[in-house]
Chain A
Amino acid sequence: MALERMFLNPLTEAGEINSRKKMFEFFQKEEFIFPVDKEELDVAEQYLTNGEARSYAASMVNSFKRKAMKLIANDNELEMIQNGMNASVSLFVKLESFFKKFDSMAETCPYRTIASKALELLHDKGLAWIYSGEDMTKCSTSTFARYDYRLRYAYSSQINELLGLLYELDLYIAVAKIGRERGFFFAEAVTQDETVVSIKGLYHPTVPNAVSNDLLINHLSNLVFLTGANMAGKSTLMKAFAVTLYLAHMGFPLPVSSMHFTPVDGMYTSINVPDNLNMGYSHFYAEVKRVREVALAVSSGKRLLVIFDELFKGTNVKDAYDATVAVTEAFSKHRRCIYIVSTHIMEAGVTLKERCDNMKFVYLPTLLQGSTPVYTYRLSDGISDDRHGMMIINNERIIETIRKTTEQQRIQ
């Protein structure tokens, strides 16, 4: 839940991002283990959040009723409540000793304030009995009812707050563990007028043995023009970039070796624009609609990341060329926004290179091993000039085969 909330609400303010980042960084370094086990937490959680005791008197009456029920019939409700209370007591004891550790830590420890807040909640006078070591199964019915009332009603808001801190702790430890295991690093969010995203050693987190690349986009060259063959890894690189920038806005550990960036107000990616056949739109028209939507967002003055993969592939070459050049050039004038545009129309890149000075031209190369294309997935500067298509056709002797068989027919 807490994780989902973070994913749905990436941060846009550098200070917030950096303090969240510091937290993850701290946990990634310290290698804490989550202090309670899941089963116990489940039992305690269910008990604590199921507050039926509206008043102390009612709690008393219910306790007696349950005790009586237990005598005449084998009622397990009492047992469940007892289990819940025991689990809660054990949980609190463990939490208390866990959070205490932070007292002795340096002032700079980012989690210290949260830990002392948690301790404050745990050390409330009304909960002191928890740490007395009293056996809950042996206490009198009235004492039991009093404790039950406190945990589930009188202190419910404090306890909910405490649980909230606990869930957050769980998230910090879990994310930090992934970051540690995968060797992720953190990005530094910077506040400045000129947009910048600088990444070193970027790779796609879910692609096995992913190759890493460096990418710098700033106000001087705010558009990356990416070319390369179909399987060369254009989409993967763009996805890796977008995913990383997204995670960076959450302060998360990232699949990079270093990174700094100015937070953006949002991102628009068009990597798989679906055909909308039902509405009678062609692929091209669907793309145009999407580009228009992005144009409106860009012209509103926000700072955005925009990614277009294989723009205008749904139309004839001439139009795709014209449209790519016109649209790319118009977008790039909005220097607050940063763009990655990929295409297989290299000619559009050549034209743009002459007309614009704020674009960075990179490509993913294809090498040939015999007639099998091999991809390096390593960014190179410039526009792809791979012409392996005709080379493969020549290597496979396609034209000769056609000519030869046609000749055979003539002789027959």
Chain B
Amino acid sequence: MIFRIDKQTTDDLGIFGKNNDRSVYGIFNKTITNGGSQVLEEMFRFPLSDDEKINERGQIIRFFQEKEIAFPFKSELFDPAESYLSNTDNRTRLSAYQDNLERKFRSAIGSDTEYKQIARGVASIVEILCVLDDFLENIPDLGPGCPYLTQASAMRDIIYSDALKSCLQENNPTKITYARTAGFDQILRFNCRDTVKQLLNLIYQLDVFIAVAKYSLERNFTYAEAMPEGAGVFEIEGLYHPLLKNAVSNSIKVDHKSNMIFLTGANMAGKSTFMKSFGIAVYLAHMGFPVPAAGMKFSVLNGMYTTINLPDNINKGYSHFYAEVVRVRKVAESIGNSKNLLVIFDELFRGTNVKDAYDATVAVTEAFAANKNCIFIISTHIIEAGETLKERCDNINFINLPTIMDGNVPEYTYRIEKGITSDRHGMIIVKNEGILDILNKDEEISN
């Protein structure tokens, strides 16, 4: 089963982005090969929703992180190899019989570019095979119980196969004779092309594992433990936003009795950031990737839908409010299709008057709260809605991000606290700035 996400969600969380340093994909995209980068993107496009697969991938990455193993290949080997393999035109096949005086002469004057390309491709693959053989020999603790053993064995099976093992005997891949090149060409490009492609794909995956492991080591990320779906476990400790400098970390726990998180706080207090951090950690965890947290344990979900920055759709004649209503309906319908979802709504119904926003927030939150399978995070600055919900529902976890006044200037701790925010700094600021005094004093004089 696939993990359900949509574009609104990946946009909200900043999973993909034009600027590499500003997207979650971007910060992990440190692979050496282009193929690795593609495999990484594929992993980001399709998070997993199977706890065994998630843990398996996590353990492999963790294995490489613990052993601090480096990627053994030079990146320039792969482009010639790929373009060579993609040329399946029979007429370009090298034949041992063409090793005549004409070819030698053309080679001498440097006009035999076609042969050169093929020879370069062959040499690259032969070198890849040799390096891989050496690499697999030297992986420490690659025995039973090693998470990478399955993939390593698959690679070994390919390179030690009857067809390919002759390649390993080539001592200097840069100086392969014409006759031998022609022989390898037949094997690599025609007899065993799919196997070679499969091997390259395994190497690209290796590239991703090692790149992610290295980045995780640098940033001190942690590996989440996936539990079977519906086990009702969801705990994150020391969660922070991976794209922010000096991000403050928070811990949060969700269970059947508190599957609705109701978040309040001032506009700049960090509500959106907290929700994005949560979403990103859940996203990465479902890829088996390390997460920006100190510890995480979770029951696998079927998908997630976030609504953090909903664009207005003026073209369709929708007001912002109507766009929000349409989005809420879409999420509600998705809940009917899959059981365990993460649903995030930031500042629900901000596009309408206060009374309606209050009524709508209470009604929608209460209706969602009847669902005990999904995890909900709803934020609002309509504190009063929280008070009403507190009386009506028993599975809501009320948390807030506080504001502290430093003189007149509000400051934010970005640390989650229990309960509904009681900050009433707005009027304090108005009073401190002396606005009413300015206006009223003058009135006394004129009277």
Does A146 interact with chain B (Cβ within 8 Å)? no
Interface string of B362-380 (1 = CB under 8 A from A): 0110011011010000000
Q: Please name all residues of chain A whose beta carbon is closer than 8 Å to the beta carbon of B430 when the two chains form the complex.
A: 288, 291, 323, 326-327
* A322 contact set on B, CB distance < 8 A: 426-427
In Å, the complex CA distance between A408 and B426 comes to: 44
In the complex, how many angstroms separate the beta carbon of A351 from the nearest chain B beta carbon? 13
What residues of B have a CB within 8 angstroms of the CB of A229 in the complex? 319, 321, 352-353
Taking a contact as CB atoms under 8 Å apart, the answer to whether A284 and B429 are in contact is yes
- Give bound CA distance, A323 to B364, whole Å: 29
**Who on chain B is nearest to A314 by CB?**
B267
Minimum distance in angstroms from B303 CB to a CB of chain A: 14
For the side of the interface on A, what is the size category? Answer: 35 or more
Residues in B whose Cβ lies below 8 Å from that of A406:
335, 367-368, 370-371
Residues of B within 8 A of A399 (CB): 363-364, 367
A288 near B441: Cβ-Cβ < 8 Å: no
Task: State whether the Cβ of B244 lies closer than 8 Å to any Cβ in chain A.
Answer: no
Contacts of A333 in B (CB 8 A): 439-440, 443
Measured CB to CB, the nearest residue on chain A to B359 is A390
Residues from 374 to 412 in A contacting B, C-beta threshold 8 Å: 384, 386-390, 392-393, 396-399, 401-406, 408-409, 412
Complex CA gap A330/B431 in Å reads 13
User: How many angstroms from the CA of A402 to the CA of B327 in the assembled complex?
Assistant: 12
Chain B 80-121 interface mask (CB, 8 Å, partner A; 1/0): 000000000000000000000000000000000000000000
Residue numbers in A under 8 Å from B144 (CB-CB): none
**Does B336 lie within 8 Å of A409, measured CB to CB?**
yes
Greatest chain B CB density within 10 A among A288, A315, A318, A373 is at A315
Contacts of A401 in B (CB 8 A): 329, 332-333
Report A-chain residues with C-beta under 8 Å of the C-beta of B268: 282-283
Number of chain B residues whose Cβ lies closer than 8 Å to a Cβ of chain A: 60
Minimal beta-carbon separation of B265 from chain A (angstroms): 9
Interface residues of B in 425-447 (CB under 8 A from A): 425-427, 429-430, 433-436, 438-443
Judge whether A389 and B329 touch: CB under 8 Å. Answer: no
Contacts of B427 in A (CB 8 A): 319, 322-323, 326
> Would B325 and A327 count as touching, CB distance under 8 A?
no
Taking a contact as CB atoms closer than 8 A, the residue among A299, A316, A326, A392 that contacts B325 in the complex is: A392
Of the listed stretches A167-175, A201-209, A341-349, chain B binds A341-349
Tell whether B215 is near chain A: CB-to-CB under 8 Å. Answer: no
Assess the A298–B439 pair: CB atoms within 8 A.
yes
How far is it, in angstroms, between the C-alpha of A62 and the C-alpha of B179 when the chains are bound?
Answer: 90
Are A285 and B329 CB-contacts (below 8 A) given A229-B353, A388-B356, A389-B349? Answer: no
Q: Is B126 an interface residue (CB 8 A)?
A: no
Cβ contacts under 8 Å, A409 to chain B: 335-336, 339, 371, 373
Chain B residues 412-434 with CB under 8 Å of chain A are 421, 423-427, 429-430, 433-434
**How does the 8 Å CB contact mask read for B318-334 relative to A, with 1 for contact and 0 for none?**
01111001101100110
Given A319-B424, A389-B356, A402-B367, A289 and B439 contact (CB-CB distance below 8 Å): no
Query: Which of chain A's residues have a CB closer than 8 A to the CB of B443?
Result: 333-334
Bound CA span A346–B353, Å: 8
Bitwise, B248-278 to A at CB < 8 A (1) or not (0) is: 0000000000000000001110000000000
Which stretch of B154-162, B180-188, B381-389 is in the interface?
B381-389
Return the chain A residue nearest B357 by Cβ: A389
Chain B residues near A314 (CB, 8 Å)? 267
Asked if A373 and B436 make an inter-chain contact with CB atoms under 8 angstroms apart, the answer reads: no
B439, chain A: closest CB distance, angstroms:
4
B410 part of interface (Cβ distance < 8 Å): yes
Contacts of A317 in B (CB 8 A): 354, 358, 381-384
Asked if A386 and B353 sit within 8 Å, CB to CB, the answer is yes
Mask, A272-306, CB within 8 Å of B = 1, is 00000000111111001101100110110100000
From residue B296, how far is it (CB to closest CB) to chain A in Å?
25
Whether a CB of chain B sits under 8 angstroms from the CB of A24 is no
Task: Decide if B433 touches A346 in the complex (CB within 8 Å).
Answer: no
Does B26 lie at the interface of the complex (its beta carbon under 8 Å from any beta carbon of A)? no
A315: which of B266, B321, B357 is its contact (CB, 8 Å)? B266
A-chain residues with CB within 8 Å of residue B367 when the two chains form the complex: 398-399, 402-403, 406
Question: What are 21 A-to-B residue pairs whose CB atoms are below 8 Å?
Answer: A299-B438, A316-B421, A316-B424, A327-B435, A331-B439, A333-B439, A346-B355, A372-B322, A373-B322, A386-B353, A387-B353, A389-B349, A392-B321, A398-B325, A399-B367, A401-B329, A402-B364, A404-B336, A405-B335, A409-B339, A412-B339
* A residues adjacent to B (C-beta < 8 A): 229-231, 280-285, 288-289, 291-292, 295-296, 298-299, 301, 312, 314-320, 322-323, 326-327, 330-331, 333-334, 344-347, 371-373, 384, 386-390, 392-393, 396-399, 401-406, 408-409, 412
- A291-B430, A301-B442, A398-B367 are known; give 11 further A-B pairs, CB within 8 A: A312-B426, A315-B426, A327-B439, A330-B436, A344-B354, A346-B353, A346-B355, A372-B322, A401-B332, A402-B335, A409-B373
The 10 A-B pairs with the shortest beta carbon distances in the complex, nearest first, are A319-B426, A389-B356, A405-B336, A330-B439, A299-B442, A402-B367, A315-B426, A406-B371, A389-B352, A401-B332
